[in-house]
Amino acid sequence: MDTLDLNQPDLYISRELSLVEFNRRVMAQAMDPQVPLLERLRYLCITSTNMDELFEVRIAGLKQRVSLGVVQTGPENMTPQETLRQLSQRCHELIDEQYRLLNEELLPALEREQIRFIRRSDWSEAQTAWLEKYFNQELLPVLSPIGLDPAHPFPRILNKSLNFIVALKGKDAFGRSSGMAVVQAPRALPRLIRLPQEEGNGSYDFVFLSSVIHTFAAELFTGMKVTSIHQFRVTRNSDLFVDEEEIDDLLRAVEGELPSRRYGDAVRLEVADNCTDELIDYMMNTFELEPEDVYQVNGPVNLNRLQYIIDLVERPDLKFLPFTPHLPVALAHSNNLFKVLAKRDVLLHHPFDSFAPVIDLLRQASQDANVLAIKMTLYRTGPESALVDALVNAARSGKEVTVVIELRARFDEAANITVANRLQEVGAHVVYGIVGYKTHAKMAMIVRRESSGLRHYVHLGTGNYHARTARLYTDYGLMTSNKEICEDVRKIFLQLTSLGKVSRLHRLLQSPFTLFDSMVKKIRREAENAEQGKAARIVVKINSLVEKQIIKELYAASRAGVKIQLIVRGMCCLRPGVPGVSDNIEVRSVVGRFLEHTRVFYFENGGSPEVYCASADWMERNLFRRVEACFPIDDHKLRARVIRELDFYLADNTQAWLMQSDGSYLRQQPKGDAPALSAQQELLNEATGE
């Protein structure tokens, strides 16, 4: 094979720009008339939340690099400054499209369904009177307007909070006339106010909090005239900084850093589209932002708050049909999970399969007198967790309970600290993983005394131990008593809690030690097989593909003739379809009712297929800076099932998007007389027996 420089910048795509493209695909769900109306609104809110995180983390990081004078480029050879310029253009386009979609399509469609967001200009006299009373009784007592003068500087603005900039005329009781004030809306206040039906309103009539404050703001400035008032929101850098070389108590360090997230450096200003240039310039200077950081919007500055009405509105016809997750036959016929797992492995594919067996496994372990110890990793669990309850009960009953809690799970740090304190109070051993390496592996191990001696039972997953997200995210979970796999998990827990080295693992691949090298070897093996005329194929389903060396290995395998099919939900820095480089690589993204979260790796291996599932994506952080677990699916029936389900995703022609070599995506549609196929719907049909 001829030599080719696989480091050429035009072979790689910026991860940040790729992330914006993913948000476009999510927003396409909000634009799709085939999606139930309230679910379309939910997708719009999800897009808004995703964009918030893009600014809080990725764009904030780029701005930080610029401020430090960093000019180092990524594989695509774009400096931080160049990336920010392109991001600004694409983000402005996408956010403008969000508000166009809201105002021109979703709000009118909701109104046709008698779900109304009533503008100030359309309030009736009765509505105005009720809202004025509501303002005086519920809002006025908790609002604290701040006039801006030398004694009252611009207040600290909480990250992503709702605020108002007010222009005033006249003098206050002390003769002051600064001309400007700020009103902050406390987060305890509802952003949507439901009008009472007894006042002659419809069942689902809503008013934005911002509209109410806007209308009655004069009540806050007695004797002065409000000449203009405009809502605004500031997005801040929300990445925590913990100097892991200097700390001696990670829990206290993270607790100490959490408040700073609320007031990190400003990275974006959202403001009403009718705000004056003078006020915008004033706020830009205050927050040290540039014009490209300003987003003028025609609607609420936080679209995500609209999702609250989805639960308030009882209209099942405007939502996805509910479903009952499937319970595998092996588990449906036995109440004793230990007996089942002693005979066979069980594979769960959430949300199509119920998450209940995972909870039941921990509950049974906490109540079983023969269980001696439970060990578990927790990354995200949610504020109220049945799994944490089971661990608490186990510790109280005298079992040895060891929990590895990752305190630095982004945006879940406070919840994880609460869980850690709760477990410590009942005597569980709580550790916080390895300094410098996030513990991202999803593992639970139970040690049980049986007639034959001690036996281990293990659960390994691709997703978090979070019952709610198990209804929303697709994830695989393997429950097994396989001796080699259980021994590997035991060794990893020993590694996480002690200071010694761990001997070689039997079946599991682990970051930061063996996963990367093993993946590279398996990709190269497929390339060698292709060159030798053997069966060679790679199918990978992950959330993100960013790591440059992996991409180079895939390019090389493609050039060797390996058929490579990548199902990458979000960021993908690889370019498919480049002549002579990635002709044999297809990249697709599936965006549907559930967030695709499974990580699956299939290698043809010359006709003896290998299938692995993992907690890790193909990103630098997962492969080198986290503790991750990648586990084989050895049972031939379970392996065949995973392969068959991968084929559903590869055949999807309704919710799949095919990536083009320029980084754009085209939504797939049935061709000719081919039937429409949605992978998620096929799996739902199988789970519900339809």
Domain assignments of the chain as residue spans, ordered by start: 10-318, 329-506, 511-688
CA–CA separation, 83 and 94 (whole Å)? 16
CB atoms within 10 A of CB 252: 11
Confidence of residue 175 (pLDDT cuts 50, 70, 90): low
Q: What is the pLDDT of residue 253?
A: 42
Q: Is the separation of the CB atoms in 54 and 16 below 8 Å? A: yes
Confidence of residue 494 (pLDDT cuts 50, 70, 90): very high
Report the range of poorest mean pLDDT among 166-180, 231-245, 636-650.
Answer: 231-245
What mean pLDDT value characterizes the chain?
91
Any idea which fold 329-506 has?
Endonuclease; Chain A (3.30.870)
Closest CA to 76 of 16, 13, 17: 13
Amino acid symbol at 623:
L
Q: What is the pLDDT of residues 249-285, one digit of tens each?
A: 444 444 444 444 455 789 999 999 999 999 999 999 9
Q: What is the pLDDT of residue 251?
A: 46
Structure tokens belonging to residue 646: 């991968």
| 225: phi then psi, degrees, rounded to nearest 5 | -110, 125
Q: Is 456 an active-site residue?
A: no
What mean pLDDT comes out for the span 12-27? 96
Q: What is the pLDDT of residue 650?
A: 98
Confidence of residue 412 (pLDDT cuts 50, 70, 90): low
Of the options 3.30.470.20, 3.40.980.10, 3.30.1840.10, 3.90.550.10, the CATH number for the domain spanning 10-318: 3.30.1840.10
CA–CA separation, 203 and 677 (whole Å)? 37
Geometric angle at alpha carbon 212, from 207 and 217, rounded to 5°: 170
Q: Which of 214, 326, 349, 440 is catalytic?
A: 440
Question: What is the CATH code for 511-688?
Answer: 3.30.870.10
pLDDT greater than 80 at residue 665: yes
Confidence of residue 417 (pLDDT cuts 50, 70, 90): confident
What mean pLDDT comes out for the span 129-140? 95
* Strand (E) or helix (H) holding 360: helix 356-367
Percentage of residues of the chain with pLDDT beyond 70: 93
Q: What is the pLDDT of residues 192-230, one digit of tens each?
A: 999 998 877 888 999 999 999 999 999 998 888 999 999
What mean pLDDT comes out for the span 93-118? 97
Q: What is the pLDDT of residue 688?
A: 86
Q: What is the pLDDT of residues 306-342, one digit of tens each?
A: 998 998 999 999 999 999 999 988 888 888 999 999 9
Confidence of residue 94 (pLDDT cuts 50, 70, 90): very high
- Strand-pair partners of 450: 453
Q: What are the helix (H) ranges across 471-611? A: 483-497, 515-531, 548-559
What mean pLDDT comes out for the span 46-69? 91
Q: What is the pLDDT of residue 436?
A: 81
Q: What is the pLDDT of residue 239?
A: 67
Q: What is the pLDDT of residues 605-614, one digit of tens each?
A: 999 999 999 9
Between 590 and 673, residue with greater pLDDT: 590
Q: What is the pLDDT of residue 178?
A: 67
Q: What is the pLDDT of residues 502-549, one digit of tens each?
A: 678 999 999 999 999 999 999 999 999 999 999 999 999 999 999 999
CA–CA separation, 296 and 299 (whole Å)? 9
Percentage of residues of the chain with pLDDT beyond 90: 77
Q: What is the pLDDT of residue 147?
A: 83
Would 10-318 and 329-506 be classified into the same CATH topology? no
What mean pLDDT comes out for the span 36-55? 96
Cα separation values, 499 from 252, 433, 435, 492, 626, Å: 21, 11, 12, 12, 17
pTM: 0.93
What mean pLDDT comes out for the span 594-599? 97
Residue 428's contacts (CB-CB under 8 Å, 6 or more residues apart) are 391, 392, 395, 401, 402, 403
Q: What is the pLDDT of residue 690?
A: 67
CA–CA separation, 541 and 602 (whole Å)? 9
